[in-house]
Structure 1
Amino acid sequence: MAQGVRPRRQPQRTCIACRAEQGKRELIRIVRTPEGRVRVDPSGKANGRGAYVHPNRECWEKALRGGTIKNALKITPAVDDIEALRAFGLALPAKEGDSV
């Protein structure tokens, strides 16, 4: 009996803002570096503790409010790191599926 090729499994991650689960490649990773900085990780492979957010402004702003990033990364981000993340979020579409 011939066996078919199995589809490749895609890792699932949860958005820290809306708690929806989606494929790892569809989310943006935020990483706490070993130096204690918080950065956007476009490659998804940077060393450090990571958290995932949908690539839309609504989820991005929700993640920046309150203590969502603080809880997910187990660190209080520096003010300049938060400002850099906020600036990155402004370039994102307002909602899922919108264009910039």
Structure 2
Amino acid sequence: MSGRTRARARPERTCVGCRERSGKGDLLRVVLIEDRCVPDHRGTLPGRGAYLHPTPTCVDLAVRRRAFQRAFRVPGPLDTAELQQAVPRATP
């Protein structure tokens, strides 16, 4: 045996909200367009991307910790309204 596995390598990324590593396909890519954090569902928008679990908890953590400003290397507040609308909220 050569020690090789048949499983393909799966890229991992770190969630900017909870800081846990997950497979790239399990996370939502977010890009910065002007001063807005925009969800990139297809992963094709240009620019630096930040990855996030598509859960309200991780979105709230990222906003509270100012993780998007650090990830995109920009000063000042960013508009996350579009991102928060894209992530489904659990209804009681």
Could you tell me the TM-score, scaled by structure 1's length? 0.72
Overall identity of the aligned pairs, in %: 35
- How far off its partner does 1:12 sit? 0.4
The list of structure 1 runs, each at least 4 consecutive aligned residues, that deviate by more than 2 angstroms after superposition, is 35-38, 75-79
**Counterpart in the other structure of 2:45:** 46
- How far off its partner does 1:44 sit? 1.6
Could you list the runs of 5+ residues in structure 1 that have no partner in the other structure? 95-100
- DSSP 3-state at the match of 2:65: coil
- Structure number with greater CO (CA < 8 Å, separation at least 6) is 2
Could you list the runs of 5+ residues in structure 2 that have no partner in the other structure? none
1:60 and 2:59 correspond:
yes
**Counterpart in the other structure of 1:69:** 68
**Counterpart in the other structure of 1:98:** none
Q: Indicate if the aligned counterparts of 1:64 and 1:86 stay in contact, CA closer than 8 A.
A: no
Could you tell me the TM-score, scaled by structure 2's length? 0.78
